[in-house]
């Protein structure tokens, strides 16, 4: 069969291959990007869906507007306002089928083959793949513990004149890093100065541990005149409530929202009305603050356990920053004392010891760093995390 040439630009990810091995019994997995299903607020979602079926079955089970279920757009605007975003109302956002669809709509509406997109090095793998389908060059900008290096970002903007810059500024996947306030403002200034679209992908911002992270760039935009016109924000309920609902949203300038809505119409007509109505009712019920407090507490404890255990077992063999939120540790094998320095080779050994993680190289759009790895602490309790890190150490040191 002759498939579309655009498929030549993407490949099944190395990560997906690894996931095939995860079905083996007894494996402790730090590989997924999933939230812990034990933390879903099943009771709250049940009550919300029952109320929807009792009160508004006709609209919740019928076709709906491509832009989104009106009640959900209202609730999401309020949710964004509660997080410090000024000047937002229901008409300023559209609901998407997960934030993944928002990213696809960004690609579809903005990127052509002659274009360049800048992303963090490393960044969310599915974004690299989804942008590539539209044909642009995708180039990585180096990061450090404070997120993307804005000095290098400006140089790369000058050299490559990108159509857009994609960032996960708060507890990035896979980096776990948080872009500093100063750098957030600088990125917004660069967007205006070079008239370049900035895409802020923010599925993890609510998952902070000890203290609130820097405000989203969307909520800072009023401090940089003109920047709101160059900013797209993608939000998601996946990591805080449930990924199965597939509820995400996109805030963007009106001209872009209109085109994204048109493309969404051709793609899935609209996000499930039932899921949207349930999410709207859930947000309206006022349960979200407690749900967030709960998941933050659980993930904070797990992150602490993983950090302590990694330090204890690996010492100078592994470099990493303790994440302040999100779901991930991003670590680098130093090769100290002649130890293993390749993430993929280590991942294979780890599987043999019954523990899985994702090697870091596939998260780079270009120039992969093979010594890196991503470990998720989301889905195992602290004891299992410690057991998993012991196995990792065994795989590493007994080779």
Residues in contact with ligand PLP by CB under 6 A are 33, 98-100, 124, 168, 173, 201, 203, 236, 238, 243, 248
Minimum CB separation of residue 125 from ligand PLP in Å reads: 9
**Do residues 32 and 355 make contact, with C-beta atoms less than 8 angstroms apart?**
no
Minimum CB separation of residue 201 from ligand PLP in Å reads: 5
Which one, 15 or 52, has the nearer CB to ligand PLP? 15
**Do residues 397 and 340 make contact, with C-beta atoms less than 8 angstroms apart?**
no
Three-class SS of residue 48?
helix
CB-count exposure of residue 87 (10 Å: 0-12, 13-18, 19+): exposed
Minimum CB separation of residue 367 from ligand PLP in Å reads: 20
Which one, 105 or 221, has the nearer CB to ligand PLP? 105
Minimum CB separation of residue 131 from ligand PLP in Å reads: 12
Minimum CB separation of residue 11 from ligand PLP in Å reads: 19
Which one, 33 or 92, has the nearer CB to ligand PLP? 33
Which one, 141 or 168, has the nearer CB to ligand PLP? 168
Which one, 236 or 309, has the nearer CB to ligand PLP? 236
Which one, 33 or 323, has the nearer CB to ligand PLP? 33
Minimum CB separation of residue 349 from ligand PLP in Å reads: 26
User: What are the distances in angstroms from CA 378 to CA 154, 205, 295, 340?
Assistant: 34, 15, 10, 26
Cβ neighbors of 94 (< 8 A, separation 6 or more) are 66, 67, 68, 73, 249, 250, 257, 260, 261, 264
**Do residues 353 and 391 make contact, with C-beta atoms less than 8 angstroms apart?**
yes
Of residues 207, 221, 142, 146, the one with CA closest to residue 179: 146
């Amino acid at each position: 069969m002759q498939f579309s040439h655009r498929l030549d630009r993407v490949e099944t990810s190395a990560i997906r291959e690894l996931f095939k091995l995860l079905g083996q019994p007894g494996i402790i997995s730090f590989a997924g990007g999933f939230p812990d299903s034990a933390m879903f607020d099943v009771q709250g979602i049940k009550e919300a869906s029952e109320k929807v079926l009792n009160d508004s079955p006709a609209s919740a089970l019928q076709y709906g507007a491509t832009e989104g279920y009106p009640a959900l757009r209202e609730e999401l605007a309020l949710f964004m306002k509660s997080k410090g975003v000024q000047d937002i109302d229901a008409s300023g956002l559209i609901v998407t089928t997960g934030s993944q669809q928002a990213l696809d709509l960004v690609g579809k509406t903005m990127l052509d083959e002659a274009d360049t997109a800048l992303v963090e090095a490393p960044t969310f793998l599915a974004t690299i793949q989804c942008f590539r389908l539209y044909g642009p060059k995708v180039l990585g900008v180096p990061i450090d513990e404070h997120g993307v290096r804005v000095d290098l970002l400006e140089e790369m903007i000058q050299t490559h004149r990108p159509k857009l810059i994609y960032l996960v500024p708060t507890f990035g996947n896979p980096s776990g890093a948080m872009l500093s306030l100063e750098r957030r403002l600088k990125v917004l200034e660069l967007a205006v100065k070079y008239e370049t679209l900035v895409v802020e992908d923010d599925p993890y911002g609510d998952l902070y541990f000890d203290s609130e992270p820097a405000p989203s760039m969307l909520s800072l935009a009023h401090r940089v005149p003109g920047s709101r016109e160059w900013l797209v924000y993608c939000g998601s309920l996946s990591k805080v409530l449930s990924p199965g609902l597939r509820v995400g949203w996109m805030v963007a300038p009106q001209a872009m929202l209109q085109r994204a809505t048109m493309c969404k119409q051709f793609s899935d007509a609209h996000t499930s009305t039932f899921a949207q109505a349930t999410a709207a009712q859930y947000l309206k019920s006022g349960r979200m603050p407690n749900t967030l407090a709960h998941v933050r507490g659980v993930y904070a404890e797990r992150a602490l356990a993983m950090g302590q255990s990694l330090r204890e077992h690996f010492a100078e063999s592994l470099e990493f920053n303790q994440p302040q939120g999100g779901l991930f540790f991003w670590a680098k094998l130093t090769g100290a004392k002649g130890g293993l320095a390749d993430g993929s080779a280590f991942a294979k050994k780890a599987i043999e010891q019954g523990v899985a993680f994702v090697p870091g190289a596939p998260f780079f759009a270009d120039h992969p760093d093979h010594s890196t790895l991503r470990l998720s602490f989301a889905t195992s309790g602290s004891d299992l995390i410690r057991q998993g890190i012991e196995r990792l150490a065994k795989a590493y040191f007994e080779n």
